[in-house]
Chains A and B, each alone.
Chain A
Amino acid sequence: SQQGEEDPQALSIQEGENATMNCSYKTSINNLQWYRQNSGRGLVHLILIRSNEREKHSGRLRVTLDTSKKSSSLLITASRAADTASYFCATVGGSGSARQLTFGSGTQLTVLP
């Protein structure tokens, strides 16, 4: 079974609005990563947050991590049509082994111009 589960499964917003996606997981983690996938092909890494971090920023992206609730959120501010993609969270287990990197089923974000 997959460790991370994203919510919502699909999200549609207007350009300029903020988009928030959530990820929940079940067991302890070493870190959590967010990836973006365009058109069902290769994934692109967006941001990595370690288990001892609570918040991280990268450009228009803001990621939070709450290990007590076993959840993370990805906020995209001032969205653009080019942000339309699927977004996946991926968790690395407590041992930190890359083998334990498991992906959720993703959130499909559509940004309408």
Chain B
Amino acid sequence: GAGVSQSPSNKVTEKGKDVELRCDPISGHTALYWYRQSLGQGLEFLIYFQGNSAPDKSGLPSDRFSAERTGGSVSTLTIQRTQQEDSAVYLCASSLTGTGIEKLFFGSGTQLSVL
């Protein structure tokens, strides 16, 4: 596609429910990133996929968070048993090679609200 696409754009859920957030990166981009942004804050790294390498999951805050990337393209971030502190904007980004000397292209994010 023309850009990084995320869905849903907004998600309201009840505490304890599971949620799935989807990211469609730019076609041909080998690197995919998930970040979390709480209100008025910077971006917190969650997970990084690069090609067929094992993902870097070091930013996931707890074992309730998991992510996968199927076929080197679409990625899904799953949050199990959601808590109120999980409320944030979840941003996905992709880049061509993941070398670090290139720009990231961001989606518009998913605003997650846990009631």
Contacts and interface: CB of A to CB of B under 8 A. Distances in A.
B101 A88 contact: no
Interface stretch (A12-20, A75-83, A91-99): A91-99
B100 A103 contact: no
B60 interface: no
A101 B104 CA distance: 10
B42 A43 contact: no
B100 A88 contact: no
Contact of B89 (A31, A40, A95, A100): A40
Nearest to B9: A41
Nearest to A38: B108
Interface residues of B, number: 29
A50 B89 CA distance: 29
B105 A98 contact: no
B31 A98 contact: yes
Contact of B107 (A42, A95, A96, A102): A42
Given A40-B89, A98-B50, A98-B95, A45 B103 contact: yes
Given A95-B100, A96-B101, A99-B100, 5 more contacts: A41-B109, A42-B91, A88-B42, A103-B35, A106-B42
